[in-house]
Amino acid sequence: MKKLGLLPKLVIGIILGILIGSTKSVFLTKLLVTFSGVFGNFLNYIVPFLIIAFVAPGIAELGSKAGKLLGITTILAYTSTIIAGSLAFFAGSTILPKIINTTGELASNGIGIEGFFQMEIPAMMGVMTALVTAFVLGLGMSVIKGNIMLGFMQEFREIIERVIKYIIMPFLPLHIAGIFANMAYSGEVAQTLAVFGRVFALVISLHIIYLIIQYITAGTLAKTNPFVALKNMIPAYFTAVGTQSSAATIPVTVNCTKKNNVTDEVADFVIPLCATIHLAGSTITLTICSIAVLGMNGVVLNFTEFLPFIMMLGVTMVAAPGVPGGAVMAALGLLETMLGFTDGQLALMMALYMAQDSFGTATNVTGDAAIALIVDKFANK
């Protein structure tokens, strides 16, 4: 079982949950739902720590980097992330209502069988409190250049990364199994599975479209063939599909970027930086999946209501860990506070996101090289 990747484990969890729920076994369904409830509460507890652990040292590390191109790279990466999220919103709000049922209430709202008991694990602070705290600490460490505090925060981040890697990720399939067992028990799983397939196809299509847009833009500015440049990034794309980590793919991404005639200095600076601050592919996925989950429960938001969520995603996902699902873990608090997600909806969101996490990561790293092309143009000037 250890040799299986996260996606096969999630698929097994979904199938297991559907089988148990479909048999109408009250005891087994309650058992899974009980675990899912406790696990969901634990996620709520860990999210504020996760935000502080990722954002604070991420901002401090950005501030400590030298170089005139830091500001340009950061602005380009953040702008790209916002454009990707906006594109995903308009595509999702236009296409998804036509391919999913946006009027029915699903078990993701908590309807269905209840667990044997509930274990409350209250968070030590709210999500927005954690985010403001992370900004204060990150900017403070950057200004005073405090190595002691930065070292502490980096170790704290490592602890949270291990919590995600060794606790959350291994038990996530069982958590998903509990959600699907509940839906199968209440007879609402077929519609959800149909939505999964349609959302997956839309997300992958938008990834490809946005990469083409990025490279046409970068190619025009850098006066290079965008499709040749995109072709040179194929090894990095498929490496990211396999590793599900922008950080682990950095050596391959740097090498492919240099094949596009980007100078060594720019490639060596931009690619590692963008691996932590440029998450256009993840933003597309989170946007589409959140619209789908809300739509399945009859909730429709306009762009003005959704844009703050996209803008906060670009900040909250800074320095998301190099482990599968880091982006969605960092976004859980925003989904709950800004979009009103319930525990069940958060679980569905994680299942939808994890199903294509590797492709989102691949889009992230491939887009990093497009930004490197633009930055290289500024560097040459």
pLDDT digits (tens, 9 = 90+) for 48-100: 888 788 778 877 776 655 456 677 888 899 999 999 999 999 999 999 888 77
> Has residue 332 been placed in a domain?
yes
pLDDT digits (tens, 9 = 90+) for 174-189: 888 888 888 788 776 6
Instruction: Render 118-174 in DSSP notation, one character per residue.
Output: ------SS-HHHHHHHHHHHHHHHHHHT-HHHHHHHHHHHHHHHHHIIIIIHHHHHH
Q: Which residue has the higher pLDDT, 110 or 279?
A: 279
Q: Which domain holds residue 188?
A: 6-380
Per the structure, how many domains does the chain have?
A: 1
> Has residue 242 been placed in a domain?
yes
> Has residue 131 been placed in a domain?
yes
pLDDT for 229 beyond 90: yes
CA-based nearest residue to 131, from 364, 336, 368? 336
> Has residue 299 been placed in a domain?
yes
Residue type, 2: K
Q: What is the pTM of this model?
A: 0.76
CB-based contact 60:138 (threshold 8 Å): yes
Choose from 168-182, 207-221, 237-251 the range with maximum mean pLDDT. Answer: 207-221
pLDDT for 108 beyond 60: no
Lowest mean pLDDT among 96-105, 266-275, 294-303, 352-361: 96-105
> Has residue 248 been placed in a domain?
yes
> Has residue 1 been placed in a domain?
no
CB-based contact 18:189 (threshold 8 Å): yes
pLDDT confidence tier of residue 109, bands split at 50, 70 and 90: very low
Q: What is the CATH number of the domain that holds 56?
A: 1.10.3860
Q: 64: how many CB neighbours lie within 10 A of its CB?
A: 12
> Has residue 114 been placed in a domain?
yes
Query: What is the average per-residue pLDDT within 223-243?
Result: 88
> Has residue 61 been placed in a domain?
yes
